[in-house]
Structure 1
Amino acid sequence: MGREVIRAAGGRDGVTVALAVNRSDVGAVEGVEVEDATDLPGLLAAREPDVLVDFTGPESSVEYVAACAEAGVPVVVGTTGFDDAGAAALRDASEDIPVLVAANFARGVAALRRAVREAVAALPGYDIELTETHHNGKRDAPSGTAKSILDDVVEARESAAARERAGDRDDDAAGVVHGREGEQPRRRGEIGVHARRAGDVTGEHEVLLAGNHELLSLTHRAESRGVFAEGALDAAAWVAGREAGRYDFFDVIGDST
């Protein structure tokens, strides 16, 4: 993703890569020298970038965001897989600088999430299955995007249940099931989540709703990592100069539509 961001930045007017860092030596990328990540605090002070874009891992991301908070540099975080402590560290940093965090920077995924919320609200009682597929090197499962979609499903279902609470139907969620094995009859309200890892798949997410003798499938498939890089640069341009706080990609899209 770092390579994709550098490549995408090179194709944009008014965008210059002030610095790039990595924990291991990877040489130059698209003519940009990739420097030692341990030098990041000094590089931020010397180069004074308008914003930092982070696609690394949870541990390094927390370190980079802390360095940005110390230097007063806004940051866009596309890293996923944070534990509670990591998520708290990002929230703490957002008290000092703008921190924009998103599991996915594809505009199509944002549209998918909106469609999922509407579909779940419009089809109460339907069975829901969420499946995500990524390349064989992806570490976290389910993906950060899948977790965001799952949150959308749960929130939409809870809202629908609240509206129908006076009726006879019981829409209480029976819980989330990650994969199935052995004898596992589907419980009412259950949400199935499945993660697949294979080949060089960039990313695919599908939400399946079934009931009343019909089936609705909502799917997003990324054909290239470049779509995430472009979205991250959109986010970087948007967040630069903002007040300290926590932002997400919906803020970027809402501001541009």
Structure 2
Amino acid sequence: MDNPLRVLIHGASGRMGQALLRLAGEAPGRWQVVAAVTRRPPAQRGVDGGPFFGSAELPGAPAFDVAIDFSLPEGLGPVLELCVARRCPLVSGTTGLEDGQRQAIKAAATQVPLLWASNFSIGVAVLDELVERAARALPGWDCDIVESHHVHKKDAPSGTALTLGDSAGRGGAEPRYASLRAGDIVGEHLVQFAGQGERVELVHRATSRDIFAHGALQAASGLHGRDAGLYSMRGLLFGDS
């Protein structure tokens, strides 16, 4: 890439948004953050100048090559509309979406390259593949998914747990879910298949939020220049989407 990819970060004041800003700033030759959009106006956050914009200013954001969205469910619609209007790719990790919002994502993907994922870890993409394979190989076994996150996470089960459950379902399993909220746990997902006299456990533990930010930036780079469509982390990793 001759020029850095111009990135709009939507939800820049959140945990993931802050990680994205920091990591992008550490590689100015690859990334140029042209807009960092927050719910509160920048002046109220003590930010003077720079690429910060309030959510109400989103329609007037400068030109960008790809948007990365880690906001709240109510913030998804405006950034979807902006990306469709400007024919720019969108990477979104916003969870807790309703059916209507999921349909809006599918509709937008007919016009722009779009990747929505509940988890941007490369390891979780591999786990997702393994869960589907295990479910197919272990018909009739009980399937339980236990997820643990920090006390501030609102949605339960986590979006990642539901994604893993979808993969287990495609393999023929009927997943059950359990959620734990404790301390500052970044993210842990256990998928257990239990049969008579034996069980198989597949586990992913995240110890740094940076893995998700790195994955989102990698996804943004992978979407740039692609045709319109709905992409996945598994697809980008394994080349099947």
| TM-score for the superposition, normalised by structure 1 | 0.81
What amino acid is the match of 1:16? Q
* Aligned 8 A contact 1:27 1:33 in 2: no
The Cα of 1:192 is off from its aligned counterpart by 2.3
The Cα of 1:58 is off from its aligned counterpart by 1.1
What are the ranges of 5 or more consecutive residues in structure 1 without an aligned counterpart? 159-172, 174-190
What amino acid is the match of 1:192? R
Find the structure with the greater CA-based Rg: 1
- The residue that corresponds to 1:185 in the other structure is none
- The residue that corresponds to 2:6 in the other structure is none
Determine if the alignment matches structure 1 residue 200 to structure 2 residue 197: no
- C-alpha separation between the residues in 2 aligned to 1:204 and 1:148? 14
- The residue that corresponds to 2:52 in the other structure is 34
Cα distance per residue 1:201-248 (max 9 Å; x no partner): 111000111223112111001111110000000000011121122111
Q: Which segments of structure 1 move beyond 4 Å, counting only runs of 4 or more?
A: none
Task: Rate the CA distance shift 1:33–1:198 in 2: closer, same or farther, 3 A.
Answer: same
- The residue that corresponds to 1:85 in the other structure is 100
Cα distance per residue 1:132-164 (max 9 Å; x no partner): 011111111111110011111111016xxxxxx
1:132-151 aligned at under 5 Å gives the runs 132-151=147-166
- C-alpha separation between the residues in 2 aligned to 1:129 and 1:254? 25
| TM-score for the superposition, normalised by structure 2 | 0.86
Q: Secondary structure at the match of 1:17?
A: strand
Report how many aligned residue pairs link the two structures.
221
- C-alpha separation between the residues in 2 aligned to 1:140 and 1:105? 17
- The residue that corresponds to 1:103 in the other structure is 118
- The residue that corresponds to 2:230 in the other structure is 246
What amino acid is the match of 1:249? M
1:168-183 aligned at under 5 Å gives the runs none
1:38-53 aligned at under 5 Å gives the runs 38-43=56-61, 47-53=62-68
* Aligned 8 A contact 2:24 2:31 in 1: yes
Determine if the alignment matches structure 1 residue 222 to structure 2 residue 240: no
- C-alpha separation between the residues in 1 aligned to 2:98 and 2:187? 22
* Aligned 8 A contact 2:34 2:51 in 1: no
* Aligned 8 A contact 1:146 1:205 in 2: yes
* Aligned 8 A contact 1:98 1:244 in 2: yes
Root mean square deviation of aligned Cα? 1.9
Q: Percent identity?
A: 39
- C-alpha separation between the residues in 2 aligned to 1:50 and 1:249? 19
* Aligned 8 A contact 1:41 1:71 in 2: no
* Aligned 8 A contact 2:126 2:234 in 1: no
What are the ranges of 5 or more consecutive residues in structure 2 without an aligned counterpart? 1-15
What amino acid is the match of 1:76? V
The Cα of 1:32 is off from its aligned counterpart by 5.2
What amino acid is the match of 1:101? W
Determine if the alignment matches structure 1 residue 18 to structure 2 residue 2: no
Cα distance per residue 1:39-73 (max 9 Å; x no partner): 11111xxx211000000011101221111111222
Task: Rate the CA distance shift 1:117–1:20 in 2: closer, same or farther, 3 A.
Answer: same
- C-alpha separation between the residues in 2 aligned to 1:128 and 1:96? 37
Cα distance per residue 1:88-140 (max 9 Å; x no partner): 11122112211111111001001111111222222222222110011111111
